Amino acid sequence: MDVTLWDLVDIIIVGYLLFQIYKLLKGSLGFNIFLGLVFVYILWWLVSALGMPLLSSILGQFVSVGMIALLILFQPEVRRFLLFLGQGYLQGQLIERLLGKKSGAQEDAQIELIIREITRATEEMAQEKTGALILINTGASLDGYYSSGVMLGAKISSQLLLSIFNKYSPLHDGATIISGQEVIAASCVLPVSDRPGIPQSLGLRHRAAIGITEETPVLAFIVSEETGHISYARQGNIQRNISAEDMHKLLRRVLR
């Protein structure tokens, strides 16, 4: 049997997709469910080969609806996988979405100004140990989350962000969502991740940041009210205790 170039490409693509699926399922209950389904399939194949018709028929019912069961059981993981596939395209269109025109020197300067304002506010909140949760929308549809908070549609500034998360502000609870050049909404309610393996030391802000990034391709920054540490979450993963400089570099990489 001759192995062609397309056979190698086929193997590489399938291997890459399986690896991404493993990354999405790793550390979640879905991974254990997936292993259980694999075990059922192997057992069905074995009893069929041994000529055990009754047991084979019972297990065959599970296997025959396997694809539907996978879609139902792994709905969050399927969504995350599809979002992963589309994320490159969404980020490729971000500057155009962000500024409504083709990129250039003026647009780059505007993005840099926005990054400075967000970083400055976050750094000051970290110094004052003011709890905060800021989402940077990179092209996802967040209409359902906007409606759970208070619509603002205000120009991004460090003063505005500091005012929102001031502990005496009625908007300080929940998440503030930034999209394009505007603070779209504040005090938004987010889903809290219940994935096992999340450290018990993480509070609701951090779990909400993980939860929203599991479902949508957004970037979430968190300021801890207890420690003042800055963290960020992306694709369901969290990186804790980053510096303001790290945050600035990450925003530049994502927004550009």
25-29, 59-63, 107-111, 126-130: which range is least confident on average? 25-29
Kindly tell me if the per-residue pLDDT of 134 is higher than 90: yes
Separation in Å, CA 196 to CA 30, 59, 74, 221, 224: 11, 29, 16, 21, 21
State which of 99-108, 112-121, 140-149 shows the largest mean pLDDT. Answer: 112-121
User: Looking at residues 116-120, what average pLDDT do you find?
Assistant: 93
pLDDT of residue 224: 93
Q: What percent of the chain has pLDDT over 90?
A: 27
119/127 Cα distance (integer angstroms): 12
State which of 8-12, 35-39, 193-197, 206-210 shows the largest mean pLDDT. Answer: 206-210
Asked if 41 and 48 touch (Cβ cutoff 8 Å), the reply is no
pLDDT of residue 157: 92
Report the Cα–Cα distance between both ends of the chain, in Å, rounded. 47
pLDDT of residue 190: 87
Kindly tell me if the per-residue pLDDT of 26 is higher than 70: no
pLDDT of residue 99: 45
State which of 34-43, 66-75, 100-109, 130-139 shows the largest mean pLDDT. Answer: 130-139
Sheet containing 237-242: give its strands across. Answer: 150-155, 182-188, 175-179, 132-137, 218-223, 230-234, 237-242
Higher-scoring residue by pLDDT: 94, 201:
201
Closest alpha carbon to 151 in 173, 125, 171: 171
Higher-scoring residue by pLDDT: 40, 167:
167
pLDDT of residue 46: 87
User: Looking at residues 159-174, what average pLDDT do you find?
Assistant: 91
Q: How many other CB atoms are found less than 10 A from the CB of residue 246?
A: 14
